[in-house]
């Protein structure tokens, strides 16, 4: 095994910029690695926690996606109720969208449940949001549009009824 090399504290801001760049380049594993390096030096670094959550959820479309228990623990380390609710909603939304993109039997109802959970969390985040922060509203609208646009994204009971009628 290898012993990982620790970052220097002065190098953390540049490392976080690199993590964001790797996320934008669709290289979430690299971003995840950088965030873990930052958190090894500063365990409560909020920017690193958020970037790690986002880089992990960027990997939902991969065969071996992130560990849901780890994501939940990371969200619990965020500093405000708003951030905890908002990023829990992001996780649910991205999980639903990834399930929808993968397709297959039952994808619609599973995606529906994740998206509805996200919408509920976004509504709770909306009530806890800082003044002028409409991010939860924007994300809620995105989820609503996905549900309105995709006919197969419905609750399981509704999908069964439609299948029997055909």
Specify whether 85 is located in the same domain as 158: yes
Q: What pLDDT was estimated at residue 164? A: 52
Question: Could you tell me if residue 114 is inside a domain?
Answer: yes
Which one has a higher pLDDT value, 84 or 158?
Answer: 84
- Distance (Å, whole) CA 72 – CA 57: 12
Please compute, for residue 61, the number of CA atoms within 13 A of its CA located in the half-sphere on the CB side. 13
Within a domain: 73: no
Instruction: Evaluate if residue 112 carries a pLDDT over 70.
Output: yes
Mean pLDDT of 23-52: 97
Q: Which two tokens stand for residue 27?
A: 């290289």
Whether 163 shows a pLDDT value over 70: the answer reads no
Please indicate, yes or no, whether residues 105 and 150 belong to a single structural domain of this protein.
yes
Instruction: Say yes or no: 151 and 85 in one domain.
Output: yes
> Quick check: is 13 in a domain?
yes
Q: Is 127 helix (H, G, I), strand (E, B) or coil?
A: helix
Domain check: are 95 and 139 in the same one?
yes
Whether 10 and 51 share a structural domain: yes
Out of 43-47, 63-67, 127-131, 141-145, least confident range: 63-67
Q: Report residue 13 as tokens.
A: 């801001």
Whole-angstrom Cα distance, residue 56 to residue 23?
Answer: 10
Q: Could you tell me the residue range of the domain that residue 103 belongs to?
A: 80-166
Phi and psi dihedrals of 44, rounded to 5? -105, 15
In terms of domains, do 105 and 41 share one?
Answer: no
- Comparing 82 with 106, which gets the higher pLDDT? 82
What pLDDT band is residue 120 in, cutting at 50, 70 and 90? very high
Please give the pLDDT value at position 50.
98
Residues 60 and 97 both lie in one domain = no
Assess whether 101 and 152 both reside in one domain.
yes
Residues 124 and 51 in one domain: no
> pLDDT grade, residue 18 (50/70/90)?
very high
Domain count for the chain, please give it: 2
Whether 71 is covered by a domain: the verdict is no
């Amino acid at each position: 095994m290898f012993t990982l090399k620790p970052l220097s504290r002065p190098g953390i801001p540049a490392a976080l910029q690199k993590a964001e760049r790797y996320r934008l380049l669709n290289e979430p594993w690299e971003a995840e690695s950088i965030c873990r390096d930052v958190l090894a030096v500063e365990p409560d670094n909020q920017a690193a926690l958020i970037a790690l959550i986002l880089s992990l959820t960027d990997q939902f479309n991969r065969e071996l996606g992130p560990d849901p228990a780890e994501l939940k623990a990371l969200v619990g380390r965020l500093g405000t109720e708003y951030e905890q609710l908002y990023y829990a909603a992001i996780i649910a939304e991205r999980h639903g969208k990834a399930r929808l993109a993968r397709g297959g039997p039952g994808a619609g109802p599973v995606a529906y449940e994740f998206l509805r959970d996200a919408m509920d969390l976004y509504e709770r985040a909306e009530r806890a949001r800082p003044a002028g922060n409409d991010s939860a509203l924007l994300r809620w609208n995105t989820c609503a549009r996905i549900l309105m646009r995709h006919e197969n994204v419905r609750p399981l009971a509704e999908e069964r009824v439609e299948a029997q009628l055909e």
